Structure formats: C-alpha cells, structure tokens
C-alpha cells in the first residue's frame, strides 16, 4: 500500500489525499501518515479553494531511490495506455 501510494504521489505531484484515494480506490489516511513520518513525502501547500493539503516527494525519497531528480523516474506510459492523454488533459485543465 505504501509503495503504491508513494508511486502515485511521485508521478502525479502535487496531489491531494482525496485524489490519491480516488486513484487507489481505498482510504489512504494511514499510509499518508506513514510516508510523512518516514520523510518520503511532504505537505507542499494547501489549496485555497478546497482546503485540501497537496503532497509531494522529498529529497529523502530521491536519495532512497538513488536518483537526482524526478525526471530520472522511469516512464510509466508504456505500461498504462492512454496515461499521457489523461495527464495532458489534467494539466490543461489547471490541475
């Protein structure tokens, strides 16, 4: 559960808890607390419209994976057909 949640945050950041739960289809409250306590994710900002806290990965996350930047993450699009179109649509909608 932690790895799945961490992957969602890494690839979709900044992302709110509700969005993570929607993607995973389960409650992520406990997992978020665990990832925060381990220093792998952090609270980036609170959305002024919704009041939702948005999360992102930390330097500790990068160091743990042995990468320098998020750009070094492997592409997931070959494994998830249509993911690029979904992400482009979200980005153009201002998410």
Give the pLDDT score at 19.
94
**Dist. CA 38–CA 53, nearest whole Å:** 18
> What string of DSSP letters covers 3-37?
HHHHHHHHHH-SEEHHHHHHHHTS--HHHHHHHHH
For residues 2 and 39, the answer to whether their CB atoms sit within 8 Å is no
Is the pTM higher than 0.85? The answer reads no
The mean pLDDT of the chain is 87
The 10s digit of each residue's pLDDT in 4-48 is 999 999 999 999 999 999 999 999 999 999 999 999 999 999 999
Give the pLDDT score at 95.
42
Give the pLDDT score at 76.
77
Give the pLDDT score at 79.
65
């Amino acid at each position: 559960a932690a790895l799945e949640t961490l992957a969602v945050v890494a690839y979709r950041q900044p992302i709110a808890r509700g969005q993570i739960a929607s993607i995973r289809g389960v409650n992520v409250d406990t997992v978020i607390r665990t990832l925060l306590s381990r220093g792998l994710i952090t609270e980036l900002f609170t959305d002024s419209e919704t009041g939702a806290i948005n999360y992102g990965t930390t330097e500790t996350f990068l160091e743990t994976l042995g990468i320098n930047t998020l750009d070094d993450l492997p592409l997931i699009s070959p494994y998830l057909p249509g993911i690029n179109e979904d992400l482009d649509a979200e980005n153009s909608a201002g998410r």
